[in-house]
Structure formats: C-alpha cells, structure tokens
Structure 1
Amino acid sequence: ERAEAEQTAADLRIDDRVEFLGELPPEEFVPIMKGAHVFAQTAAVEPFANDLLWALASGCVGIVEYQARSSAHELVVNCDRGARVTSPQELADEISAAAGYSQESINEEFASFDHDDVLRRYEDIYADAIEDYGWF
C-alpha cells in the first residue's frame, strides 16, 4: 500500500509536500502529528485506525479515503476537521482545502478516546454488571 500511496502523491504532484514516515512508536509519532497539518488515511484494510485517531487528537485535519474494509471513515463523521473522499482527485482537493483550517496541536473532540477515559468506562460497565448480576 505504501508504494501505491507514494505513487498517488506523485500523480497528484504533492509528493514534494508529503512525507511517508512508516511505522513509528507513539513517543515519536505524536510530536510529529502535533506539528503536522493534515493526515491522509488511505489504507484499504484498517479494522481500527489508531494512527488516524492519534493524528486527529493531535489537531491534524483528517482526510480519509473511503474503503469498504476499513472503519477509518467513521472517525471523521461529524468531525469539523475531517473529510471523507472516494477518489484521488477528491483527496487532492481536500488536502488543498485543509489550508483553510488553523494549525492545532490538540483536538478535544477526541478526548473520549483517551486511554484512561476508555479504561474508566470499561470499569464502570463491569462494576454495574457485578452490581446487577453478582460476581458469578
């Protein structure tokens, strides 16, 4: 998929403004995302788009190419700083349009995905289940 994404960037003549980083641990990835402006998600298969979520939470404008075997597009539904696209031309148009958004380093819309918040919600569900039905 990376070669295809790099070719798409070249075809759209944006390869001089795009950097493909590959796999990075969160401690390297998050600071980069806080300094980035746009994150484009084009993976054909992505059960849960963790990198997109990190990027959105870090203030990036998220552009997601709709893929039938990916759930990434769900993260930008009703998101002020996100868009779904279905073609390379739409991707290019949205990258250009992203220049109209301010530079951000955090997006509070995604605070509910924070590890501690998710863990707390799971603990609350378990506590309610135990209270309602007992331990065993």
Structure 2
Amino acid sequence: MEPWLPMDGGTLTITPAGGMEDVLSCSWYRRAVSDRTLILRHQLPPKPTYYYGKAYTKRETVRQQCSLHIVNLTREDSGIYIVQKQRAANLTSEEGTIFVFISALEQRTKLTGKAIAGIVVSGLLGIVGVAGLVVYQTTREPPLS
C-alpha cells in the first residue's frame, strides 16, 4: 500500500502480492465480495477490457500488477478492500484482503513570531526567577537562636 498512511484528498495505490503468471483477470471489491460491492474487473491482454461495478466511483483505476489506484480520497474510502486474481482453469485463483484507513488529520497551525517570542520571554523570566530564589536562599543570614 502506498502511501502507508493515506490522507483525505490524497491518492492511494494498493498492489496485491504474488505473481501475475497465468492471471486472466483481477477484480477489486470494497468491504465484501458481491455484485453490489464490485469496484471493477480488469480482463488482462490479449483482449484487455474493464467492467465497472456498482461500487465504482470514477476515482478508481487499475494499474500494473493489478494494483488499484484511487484518487481524491475521502474518509468514506476507509475499510476493507479485496482483490481476486482469476487464473487459467487448471490453476488456483488467489484472493487478498487489506484494511485501509484514510486519515483526516488536519494540518497543524504554525506558530507566529509573536507566539515564539512570548514562549522565549516566558522561559527566560522563569529562569531568572529561579536563579533569584537560589541567590536569595544562599545569601540570607541564618536565623538567630
């Protein structure tokens, strides 16, 4: 998965593990495997075709190695994604599942020059106060008995 922490508004590419030998088609699903959760199915060459399912949002494409690429991510894109690689009739097909979390972290505000100056001055005043207390304690005369 690239990036490892996808952000709201960003892009995401999910590349399934395993080889592509004898793969006839790749199907991507959102949340579960059913007709209504199919995002898209890509039939590989020699006759490459695409079938778009009910979960297709026009933001998904298939790239090399049957990877799923999604643009303009939203928090609703968070969830389980399932890929199925269909192989030739005499070979076993593969299925893989991944959970994706789309982060909606807001960009932190930057500190202004005045705020930084305030922090520095406060720190210096604190140091001066502690130093003054230490000097007072060490120079005062002991109490009379």
Q: Could you state the TM-score of these two structures normalised by the residue count of structure 2?
A: 0.23
Higher fraction of strand = 2
Structure with max Cα Rg: 2
Higher fraction of helix = 1
For CA contacts below 8 A with separation 6 or more, give which structure has more relative contact order.
2
Q: Could you state the TM-score of these two structures normalised by the residue count of structure 1?
A: 0.24
